[in-house]
């Protein structure tokens, strides 16, 4: 038995698939592919599957991963070939590799926020560039107080590690790095929603591009 990490993209309409439904879809896909999975023992055997930092609903990703345990002598290339034709729409296999880092070591994420606007993309870019260099941008983040969930004010600028604003034709793109992981996790939608408050003619899409460990190395 060995553990392998299955890397996949979650794009298009699949961004509206919840994490629970994704688990079900991936379980069905793996069974269709006849992967030689290891199952737990006991009254109700089930395959070992674990996802690194589940994606927020409505967000796309180029770097999703799922760990499974495999029995037998199949190579990673053979597992990839078995899986690639079994994925549901919007979910595409990238590779099958040996895990390097434990998901608990994920510390940062790189994201793109893509704004579509009914007006001038250049003007929207200028407004965002004027807004972001400020030392303070207070937003409300859902947190916990005891056992209860509460909204807390945070200064978002304290969490944005780096960012870049650019245009892509009629779109405006913000590329940024934020804390992501089990200790501190800041959703880029907090920034996107704040921008949208002052630009109600816009809509946005968020893409998670990369996850990193504490020293900035790519999670893999």
Strand 202-213 versus strand 106-117 pairing type: antiparallel
36 with 74: CB under 8 angstroms? yes
* Residue scoring higher pLDDT (40 or 128): 128
Class of domain 105-213: alpha beta
Share of the chain above pLDDT 70, in %: 100
**CATH, range 2-99:** 3.30.70.580
111 with 207: CB under 8 angstroms? yes
| pLDDT category of residue 29 using cuts at 50, 70 and 90 | very high
With a CB cutoff of 8 Å and minimum separation 6, the contacts of 65 are: 5, 6, 7, 8, 51, 52
- Whether the per-residue pLDDT at 146 is higher than 80: the answer is no
User: Is there a shared CATH topology between the 2-99 domain and the 105-213 domain?
Assistant: yes
| pLDDT category of residue 118 using cuts at 50, 70 and 90 | confident
The pLDDT score that the predictor gives to residue 68 is 96
The pLDDT score that the predictor gives to residue 3 is 96
| pLDDT category of residue 134 using cuts at 50, 70 and 90 | confident
| pLDDT category of residue 59 using cuts at 50, 70 and 90 | very high
Helix/strand/coil for 50: strand
Angle between helical axes of 121-131 and 189-198 (0-180°, round to 10): 120
pTM beyond 0.85, yes or no: yes
The pLDDT score that the predictor gives to residue 151 is 87
| pLDDT category of residue 147 using cuts at 50, 70 and 90 | confident
d(CA 8, CA 148): 34
- The dihedrals phi and psi of 87, each to the nearest 5 degrees, come to -75, 145
Listed by start position, the domains of the chain span: 2-99, 105-213
Sign of torsion, CA 9 202 196 216? positive
d(CA 174, CA 191): 10
DSSP state of 159: T
208 with 109: CB under 8 angstroms? yes
d(CA 17, CA 90): 10
């Amino acid at each position: 038995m060995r553990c392998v990490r299955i890397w996949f993209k979650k794009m298009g309409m699949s961004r509206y698939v919840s994490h629970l439904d994704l688990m079900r879809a991936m379980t069905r896909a793996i069974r269709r592919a006849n992967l030689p999975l290891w199952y737990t023992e006991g009254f109700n055997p089930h395959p070992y599957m674990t996802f690194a930092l589940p994606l927020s609903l409505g967000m796309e990703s180029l770097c999703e991963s799922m760990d499974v345990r495999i029995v037998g002598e199949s190579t990673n290339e053979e597992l990839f070939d078995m899986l690639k034709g079994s994925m549901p729409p919007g979910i595409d296999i990238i590779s099958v590799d040996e895990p390097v880092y434990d998901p608990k070591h994920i510390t940062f994420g790189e994201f793109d926020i893509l704004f579509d606007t009914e007006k001038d993309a250049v003007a929207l870019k200028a407004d965002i560039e004027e807004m972001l260099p400020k030392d303070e941008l207070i937003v409300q983040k859902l947190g916990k107080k005891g056992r209860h969930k509460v909204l807390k004010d945070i200064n978002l600028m304290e969490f944005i590690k780096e960012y870049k604003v650019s245009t892509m034709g009629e779109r405006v793109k913000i590329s940024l790095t934020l804390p992501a992981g089990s200790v501190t996790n800041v959703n880029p939608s907090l920034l996107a929603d704040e921008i949208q408050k002052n630009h109600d003619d816009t809509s946005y899409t968020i893409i998670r591009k990369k996850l990193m460990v504490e020293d900035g190395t790519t999670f893999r």
